[in-house]
Structure 1
Amino acid sequence: MEFCVIKTTLGFAKLEGDEEGLSSLTVLNNETTISDIVPEVLDDAVRQLEEYFKGERTQFSLILNPQGTDFQKRVWKALLDIPYGKTTSYLQLSKDLGDVKAIRAVASANGKNPLWIIVPCHRVIGSDGSLTGYAGGLHRKQWLLEHESPYKQQSLF
């Protein structure tokens, strides 16, 4: 398993993967050393993340290889269907997966998503429109949603 640490608009991120795909992209809450060399198997992921943060990319095209239970993988796959600039609720996601009663299990799987941003768990919000838990912190979730929003807030001054 290869890894690297990069600096993003939202702080430091660690990418892990191999020839079978990207297995992890996590945000780090502490400052750390940026990798001098990006392993070849992670080059494309780093480039696509840079394009995303510049506003040049709305969809990722990477081989993904997250580790989790079959149920978690089903939830993560469903997250990939949430379009850029849109949101859904945990309740709606549960309905989409065929079991409205699984809302807590869906929320738990969402919280264990190992591929921050690429598998867009930040696009899942509360049924009342509230920003609910996010492993990267609610300030990052809010930034990501604003970054993806087709409606940009303009300055009054």
Structure 2
Amino acid sequence: MRRERAALIVSRAADTPANAAVAVAVAAALLARRRGRELALLALGLGGAGALAGALKRLVGGERPVARPPGPARGAAFPSAHASGWAAHAAALAILAPPRLRVPVAATGAALVGVVAASRVVLRAHAVRDVVAGAALGAGWVWLVARRLGLPAPPQGRSSVESPNSCHR
């Protein structure tokens, strides 16, 4: 029972208002710094991930593991919008982070996505495939948008072709 109570707290905390609050805070910071490409990544990445998850829910559907799971759960199960939304956030924040912070930000984001995804499975709002597909959709879409926008920019002093692990002799 404690596990379900904790999962319900996590799931409710990770619902749409929290997603929106994070997006607005990051967007405000990017706007203040006049970071147009990064703001485009946030808008197109997060908005696109949400739109794709919604479209897939309508196309694929999928039943939830139980008819009325506790906590936030509406519509079709596949893919998990919670997982796709937080994976999109995590990917965007990792891409937007300064180079020296990208790995810790990505690891923290992956852990957060894992906790949110696990909460949805514990609550029987989703099967494991739903949350895995949602996370892959969210992170994958943001990565595609970032590549198209030329983000992340290579660190100062490196060309865009040069790999950080290149050997120069």
Tell me the TM-score normalised to structure 2 length. 0.29
Higher relative strand content: 1
Tell me the TM-score normalised to structure 1 length. 0.31
Larger Rg: 2
